[in-house]
Structure formats: C-alpha cells, structure tokens
Chains A and B, each alone.
Chain A
Amino acid sequence: MPELSPETLLNAALGLLIVMTLAGAVLAVTLRKVFHNLLGFGLSVIGGAGVTLILGSEFVALMQLLIFLGGIAIAMVFAVMMSTPNEQAEEPRSAGAVIPAILLGLGFTALICWAMLDGNFPQSSPYVAEAWSVKNIGLLLLTDYELPFEAISILLLAAIIGSVLIARRTREPEPSEEADRG
C-alpha cells in the first residue's frame, strides 16, 4: 500500500469539496428548473460546510448544514408552488440575456482574481481548537458581537412582520376599498 500522508488526504478532500461547491454553484445558475437550481445550491452549501469543517470549525459547519438545508427545503416547497408545473416545457433562455450575464460574471470573477493576486493577507494566527469551540463562540456572541447578535433579532422580527403583512394583503382584501378615499 502506498504511503498516504494525512496532509495529502486532507488536501484531496478539500479539493473535492471545493470542486463540489463550485459544481453546485454552476448547476444552481445554469439549470432551467427552479427545483434543480435549488438542489445545486444545496450541493454547494454542503461543499461549503465541508470546507469549513476541514478548516477546523465543526460547529459553524454543522450550523451551516442545519440551517441552510432546512431553508433550501422550504425554498423548494415555495419554488414548487410558484414555478411552472413539471410537465410544462420551460422557455429556452434568450441569448441576449445570457451572454451579457456570462460576460459580466466572468469579468467580475477575473477582476476579483486579479485583485486577489495583489492582496497580501496576514499570516493567520495558529490554529487553536478552543478558539472555535461552542463555548467560545457563545462567549463571543455575548461580548464582542453582542450588538449584531441583538440587532439581528430586530432585523428578523421586522422581516417576519413584513412578510406577514405582505401575505395578508393577498389573502384578505381590505374592507371597502373605495369607501374611505378622502
């Protein structure tokens, strides 16, 4: 049996996961059915969670899986309810819309890659397992990141009230649309 060093193994896994993430992303934008797009996105998310895991943050990776997969499942239900039925053929994409989008996407990617080459990222601090432990993340959420932690709840509350509000409009039309117009 050839000698497998742990680094090679991990790097291979990392490469596989990155390929998976990218492949999922490509599927998510190229396929024609919303359902397939979401599956692609799911693949991408799983790949991303794997990368996070290999980089050493088990908790964040698992939370990503837990939250995103639930979210994708819900998005799928909505996609099924709102998109064209399965048996209907999708309209082909128009080249006039696709080509500029591809060019723009590639251009942006090229720009970022070019800029990345110039960037000098600082040496990351040595890996400490405790730094990413659940306990430490919890402590950080209640100290340094307390404000965003609390503010996100305001944001979510606003989003929930707003979606209920908008959904209500289509559900029960307001009474006497015209009567009180001043």
Chain B
Amino acid sequence: MPALIAALEGMLGTWLTQFLLGFTALAALITLNAMFMVWFERKVSAWVQGRLGPMEHGPQGTLQTLLDVIKLLGKEPIIPAKVDRTTFILAPVVAFLPALVLLSLLPYSEDLVFTNAESGILLVFAFGGVSLMGVFMGGWSSNNKYALLGGVRAVSQNIAYELPLLLSTMAVVLSAGTLNISKIVQVQTAGGFGWFFMYQPLALIIYIIAATAETNRAPFDIPEAESELVAGFHTEYPAMGFAVFFLAEYTYMFVVCGVGAALFLGGNHGPWLPGPCWFLIKVYFLLFLMVMFRWTFPRLRFDQLMDLAWKLLIPLSLANLMVTALVIKLV
C-alpha cells in the first residue's frame, strides 16, 4: 500500500491528463490496428492465392475496412429472443475490456511505457483469462448448440495452450531475471547481449505456436471453425457485438505479438529508426507470420490440437525450462 501511494503521489499532478492521453492513444491503436489487420489479412491471403484482393476503394483497397466499419455501425443490433440476455450483452464487453489493459503493458519504447508493472508478463496472461470468460459467456448465452460447442472448444484449447505459452516465456524470464517486460527489453539491449531468440530459439517457436492457438487463429481456429460450427461462439452476434469480438481478437493478436517482440526480438531495439518504429515493425512481422500460418496450414482436428499441446509442446517447454535453469545455474 505505501508503495502504491508513493507511486500515485508522484503522478497525481498530471494524473488525469496522462490518463486521458494514454487512453485515447490506446483506443486509437486498437481501432487502427484492427482496420489495418483486416485489410492486411485480405491482401496477404490474396497474395498467397494469386488474387488481387480488395481494390475498389482507395489505392489498393485501403479504404475498404473503413467502409466495412460504417456498414457494421449501421446494422441493427439484434438480440435473439431466447438468449440469456444479460450474459449475452455482457459477453463482448468482458471479452474486450482487458484489451485496453493489455495494450498499456507493452513497451513501445524506452520512454513510451504506459504501465511499468513489476510482473508485467503475468499480468498479460492473467487478463487474457478474463477475455476467455467473455468468449465462453458468449458461446453459452447464445442458446445455440454451435455457439456452445465453440465456447467449450475455446476453453479447452485456451487452457491447454496457456501452459506452453507461459512456460516458454518463463525460460526467457529466467534468463533475464525479471518479470518486468521493459526490463527484459533492457537486458537484451544492454551491451552486446543480443536478443533472446538467439538463446531461446525453441522457446520462440513454442511461443509462436501457442500464441496462435491462444488467439484462436487458424490452423487452431476450431472454436469458430466455419465448416463445422457456422461461426462458433459468435454465431448469434450481429452488428456491433460481432465487431467487438473481432476487435478483441485483433487486439489480442497485437498483444501476443507485442510480448513476443519484446521478449524474443529485442523490443524497440534497432539501428537508425526510432524505438517505436522498430517495435511496430517487429510486431507486424510476427503478425505477418500468423497471417501466413492461416493461409498455408490446414486446420487441425480437435484431438490433434490437444495432442500437440499436451503431448508435445508442454513437455518440450518444460524440458526447455529445465535446461535453461540448469545452464543459468552452471554458468
């Protein structure tokens, strides 16, 4: 408590201004990122499939998403008759709410850090659990069998992949000796140490796979597998409800890639360009990888998905963690 008070005292003078500024910046980031990602994803998929993708509105169809947003805003928000009303309305909110907190945890540059939490990494994963609740609430309250199945799948998949995700980051945490994301970045930038993916290549691979699964992205998109479950947990959500779920998904992709970039790729560290640019470049490089996964890998069956997590990734990441601990102890 006294530590918190001291912290508050230090910033209370400019507290409100800072809060409002940060809030606005992050809200803008969420929207812009989602709009860019939708366009980006369409373009990449078109490129993979030898098509052109959206071309009509704006140069290279860049205004397409903006128009999509306007269309979604104009749609009637329908609440189906037999849904569990309160939960149905709350679900997208619960799924989206942690996104803002999570974005504020990323280290955009040395100076541009919204929240410098001592256990930053844990904070990211803890709040990820809150959004999982939102997804399952949506699936259950829709009163639709496809939606419910999607929700159940989301839970079992998220629980399974949370373990390798955490364990792979823990290897980095052990090497850096701190849970603070900014400090982990500092360790990498400090005199010639190098980025962590050089020391922890296995952890990076596990992290990317698990992160893809955590965000319910193809090839791990069975919670919303359209060929089996219509649209999974958000089947019944029209207009803005659907949009909010979508926004949350793209924000989480940004967050996991941001954490990945900070942990493994040196965060804002890089020559010539300013820090935030490097950070965004790295994040979008990882996001590009995730988009490529979606268009180049076939979707996993449910049992294959579980096998991959429990029988391969978890033992591997545990072994990686043990070896890391041993090396740190010996060196």
Contacts and interface: CB of A to CB of B under 8 A. Distances in A.
Contact of A74 (B5, B137, B143, B159): B159
B175 to A, nearest CB: 15
B222 to A, nearest CB: 15
Contacts of A4: 12
A69 B2 contact: no
A74 B126 CA distance: 15
A107 interface: no
Contacts of B159: 70, 73-74
B140 A76 contact: yes
B2 A70 contact: no
Nearest to B86: A36
Nearest to A76: B136
Contacts of B82: 87
Given A1-B16, A39-B87, A86-B143, A62 B1 contact: no
Q: Which of B16, B122, B148 has the most CB of A within 10 A?
A: B122
A56 B136 contact: no
Interface stretch (A5-13, A156-164, A173-181): A5-13
Which DSSP category, helix, strand, loop or mixed, fits chain A's interface? Answer: helix
A171 to B, nearest CB: 16
B119 interface: yes
A46 interface: yes
A63 interface: yes
Interface in A79-127: 80, 86-87, 127
Interface residues of B, number: 36
SS class, residues of chain B in contact with chain A: helix
- Which size class do A's interface residues fall under? 35 or more
Contacts of B2: 56, 127
A87 B158 CA distance: 27
Contact of A134 (B119, B123, B162): B119
Contacts of A72: 133
B4 A69 contact: no
B285 interface: no
A90 to B, nearest CB: 12
Contact of A9 (B8, B137, B179): B8
A86 B85 CA distance: 12
Contacts of B136: 73, 76-77
A107 B179 CA distance: 45
Nearest to B90: A39
Given A54-B1, A80-B152, 17 more contacts: A6-B9, A7-B5, A10-B5, A35-B84, A39-B137, A46-B130, A55-B1, A56-B1, A58-B118, A58-B119, A66-B122, A66-B129, A70-B162, A73-B133, A74-B155, A87-B82, A133-B118
11 contacts: A6-B4, A7-B5, A9-B8, A10-B8, A54-B4, A62-B119, A70-B132, A76-B140, A87-B82, A87-B143, A127-B3
